[in-house]
Amino acid sequence: MTDPLALDPVLPRAERSRLPFNAGATHSERFEAFEAHVVAGGKVEATDWMPEEYRTAVLRFVEMHANSELMGVLPEREWIMRAPTLRRKLALTAKVQDEVGHAQLLYRVAEDLGKPREAMFDDLLAGRTKFHNVFHYPTKTWADIGVIAWLVDAAAIVAQQALRDSSYAPYARTMQKVCWEESVHIMHGRDVVVTLATGTTAQRDMLQEALDRWWPPLMQMHGPRSDRSKDRDLHWRIKAKTSEELRQEFLTIYVPRVWELGLTLPDPNLRFDADAGEWRYSEPDWDELRTVVTNHGPRSEARLEFRRLARAETAWVREAILAAPRAAA
Amino acid sequence: MTDEAVRDRSAGPSESGALEPFEVFRQEKDGGPMVHGGSVLAPDPLLALHYAREMFSRRGESVRLWVVRRADVHELDDPDVLAPPLDRSYRKPGGYVMRDKLAAARERAGTSKPKARDKSR
């Protein structure tokens, strides 16, 4: 009964509103229409036309995020066999599985932007692309697992929540799912931390030491302050907040919760400046950040080597899948 | 709007292009709507379903999953077709504002506004 003509536009072409990236336009007109669209809060889908500049910028951002999810499970998996109770072991295993799942979702988003997954693994393992600084460090005790699951995930979720409104819609939707799952990890981590905080003196000391170890990398994690007007990812609305805005948000929520447990943070200058309405802190060691993210961190090479080994050992699975007849095709 | 260029770019590692994107839809509870969840890359629907289960129901958050080849999705997103600049308010409850007319009608009939219904009854 449907009249196919009903899919024709109501107005003649000359009177139609201008589509953002109308196929009839020249490249620069398309570019300008696209830019106006995203700057005004418009969304972009995987199958939409987009300028190469935008495609490359989103790809770089998402690929780094995917790499971090994938590499981020390695410090935690080191503790699955050493988890203190069965319930902790189950929770930690589930968290590791979730994070790998996030990597899968994000690599899928990145693939649609034009880079095959194998090429992303090649670049990661060859050190041509990066992953987050916090995953280049060793885990010394069980308390590290609590601090990572609570505070590293908290610092990450602050950034990820701001990405739920990214102009690149497939990424934004993925972040909604990821944030939902991360909220469980934070509760798991906080539970580990609070349990240790209410434990023996040795457990409290172990917790304080882990916190002292992880605080400098946590303060570096969001990156140095940047100029909002020069940040292209902000301009394209790929992300919504600057590194300093994310750090301030993280400090506002989590410093009071750390102090609440009677724990200290290893920065004598850390305080909330009520007049300025923001946190003051000692300048993080940006040289350390640069050193670590370029794979010169204490565990960078070992973690990459482990990933290379895992990839080689599972190559037969990928080959078997690709060689399989297409069942329902 | 799916163009070949996009599909080619998202093809997997295989030279023959054996992997392709499947869109995943999930139902949160029985009777609920099928909602788009994301996509997976797979060589066939069966493996796409296995991936979808791992990605979208680890916590038991779905009671049903659908996978559809992206190439099989037909799309219409032209705003001039879907939301032409014509007044459609007569199709919506908010298109009928009669407060002033009701007041005039009451005045003419010499009646007053009925009391709000007692919801406890």
DSSP H or E segment with residue A279: strand A278-280
Predicted confidence at residue B86, as pLDDT, reads 80
- The three state secondary structure string of chain B is CCCHHHHHHCCCCCCCCCCEEEEEEEECCCCCCEEEEEEEEECCHHHHHHHHHHHHCCCCCCCEEEEEEHHHCCCCCCHHHHCCCCCCHHHCHHHCCCHHHHHHHHHHHCCCCCCCCCCCC
Q: What is the pLDDT of residues A200-247, one digit of tens each?
A: 999 999 999 999 999 999 999 999 998 888 888 999 999 999 999 999
Residue for token pair 């990597």: A103
Q: Are B22 and B65 in contact (CB under 8 A)?
A: no
| Least confident span in A19-23, A320-324, B49-53 | A19-23
Question: Which contacts (CB < 8 Å, 24+ apart) does range A38-41 have?
Answer: A38/A167, A38/A236, A38/A237, A39/A235, A39/A236, A39/A237, A41/A167, A41/A237
DSSP A246-262: HHHHHHHHHHHHHHHTT
Name all domains of chain B by residue range, CATH numbers in brackets: 3-72 (3.10.20.520), 79-109 (no CATH)
CA distance A134 to A152: 8
CA distance A182 to A15: 48
Predicted confidence at residue A254, as pLDDT, reads 97
Which chain B residue is nearest to residue A120, measuring alpha carbons? Answer: B13
Average pLDDT over residues A12-37: 71
DSSP A93-124: HHHHHHHHHHHHHHHHHHHHTT--HHHHHHHH
Q: Are A164 and A172 in contact (CB under 8 A)?
A: yes
CA distance B39 to B41: 7
* Interface predicted TM-score (ipTM) of this complex, two decimals: 0.73
Alpha-carbon distances of B64 from A79, A327, B8, B31, B58, rounded to whole Å: 34, 21, 30, 10, 13
Predicted confidence at residue A13, as pLDDT, reads 58
Predicted confidence at residue B16, as pLDDT, reads 47
| Residue A283 clears pLDDT 50, i.e. is over it | yes
Return the higher-pLDDT residue of A296 and A14.
A296
Local confidence band at A131 (pLDDT 50, 70, 90 cut-offs): very high
Judge: B38–A10 Cβ closer than 8 Å, yes or no: no
Predicted confidence at residue A22, as pLDDT, reads 57
| Least confident span in A47-51, A137-141, A218-222 | A47-51
CA A143-A187-A76 angle, to 5 degrees, is 45
Predicted confidence at residue A25, as pLDDT, reads 67
Which chain B residue is nearest to residue A177, measuring alpha carbons? Answer: B37
| Residue A15 clears pLDDT 80, i.e. is over it | no
Residues of A in contact with B9 (CB under 8 A): 112-114
Q: List CB contacts of A124: < 8 A, sequence separation 6 or more.
A: A67, A70, A71, A131, A304, A307
| Residue A327 clears pLDDT 70, i.e. is over it | no
CA distance A176 to A161: 8
Predicted confidence at residue B93, as pLDDT, reads 87
pTM value? 0.83
Query: Any chain B CB within 8 A of the CB of A257?
Result: no
- Binning chain A into helix, strand and coil, the percentages to the nearest 5 are 65, 0, 35
Q: What is the pLDDT of residues A242-262, one digit of tens each?
A: 999 999 999 999 999 999 999
Per-residue pLDDT of chain B (121 residues; tens, 9 = 90+): 334 433 343 444 444 447 899 999 999 999 999 999 999 999 999 999 999 999 999 999 999 999 999 999 998 888 788 887 788 888 888 889 999 999 999 999 999 998 887 766 5
Residues of A in contact with B2 (CB under 8 A): 47
Q: Enumerate the β-bridge partners of residue B42.
A: B20
Return the higher-pLDDT residue of A78 and B14.
A78
CA distance A79 to A142: 7
Residue B81 C-alpha, separation from nearest chain A C-alpha, in angstroms: 5
Predicted confidence at residue A234, as pLDDT, reads 93
CA distance A23 to A217: 47
Predicted confidence at residue A90, as pLDDT, reads 94
Predicted confidence at residue A82, as pLDDT, reads 96
Residues of A in contact with B10 (CB under 8 A): 46, 111-112, 114
- State the pairing for strand pair B34-42/A278-280: unpaired
Q: Name the token pair of B49.
A: 């379903």
Predicted confidence at residue A19, as pLDDT, reads 53
Mean pLDDT of chain A: 91
Residues of A in contact with B1 (CB under 8 A): 45, 47-48
CA distance A88 to A327: 40
Partner-chain residue, chosen from B44, B55, B84, that has the shortest CB–CB distance to A104: B55
Predicted confidence at residue B85, as pLDDT, reads 78
CA distance B8 to B98: 56
| Least confident span in A63-67, A154-158, B115-119 | B115-119
Q: List CB contacts of A24: < 8 A, sequence separation 6 or more.
A: none
Judge: A327–B55 Cβ closer than 8 Å, yes or no: no
